[in-house]
C-alpha cells in the first residue's frame, strides 16, 4: 500500500479510511488478550491497552502494509475518535466518537 503518497489527497484519505475496520479488528483482538490477562489477576479490564508499536507491527505483519501506512491509519483512527491514545498506549473508544 505504500503508494498513498503518490495519490491525490482525497484518494489517499479514502485508502486510509478503508483500513479502519481491519485495524480496529486487529486492535480488538489484542485488547481481548490483555483483558483476559487482567481478569486472571483480578484487575480492572478497562485498563487494557496496546502499545502503538505493537499495533503497527501487527498491522504490518497481518495485513502486509508498510510501517508508515500503519502509522497513518492509527493517526486517522485517533482523529476520528475511534481510538484513545495515552502517550504510546492505545485503547478502543467505547463511545465510538459519537456525541
Q: Where are the domains of the chain?
A: 9-92
Residue pair 71/56 in contact by the 8 Å Cβ criterion: yes
CA 21 and chain centroid, separation: 9
CATH for 9-92 (1.10.10, 3.10.50, 2.60.40, 1.10.15): 1.10.10
- How many Cβ atoms are within 10 Å of 23's Cβ, its own excluded? 23
Of all residues in the chain, the percent with pLDDT exceeding 90 is 75
* pLDDT given for residue 98 in this prediction: 45
Q: How much is the pTM?
A: 0.82
> In sequence order, which ranges of 19-91 are alpha helices (DSSP H)?
20-40, 52-63, 67-79
pLDDT at 62 over 90: yes
pLDDT in tens, 20-59: 999 999 999 999 999 999 999 999 999 999 999 999 999 9
Amino acid at each position: 500500500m505504500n503508494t498513498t503518497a503518490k495519490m491525490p489527497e482525497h484518494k489517499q484519505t479514502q485508502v486510509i479510511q478503508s483500513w479502519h475496520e481491519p485495524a480496529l479488528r486487529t486492535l480488538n483482538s489484542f485488547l481481548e488478550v490483555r483483558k483476559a490477562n487482567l481478569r486472571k489477576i483480578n484487575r480492572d479490564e478497562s485498563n487494557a491497552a496496546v502499545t502503538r508499536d505493537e499495533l503497527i507491527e501487527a498491522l504490518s505483519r497481518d495485513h502486509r502494509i508498510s510501517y508508515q501506512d500503519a502509522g497513518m491509519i492509527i493517526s486517522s483512527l485517533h482523529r476520528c475518535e475511534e481510538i484513545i491514545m495515552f502517550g504510546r498506549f492505545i485503547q478502543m473508544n467505547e463511545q465510538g466518537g459519537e456525541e
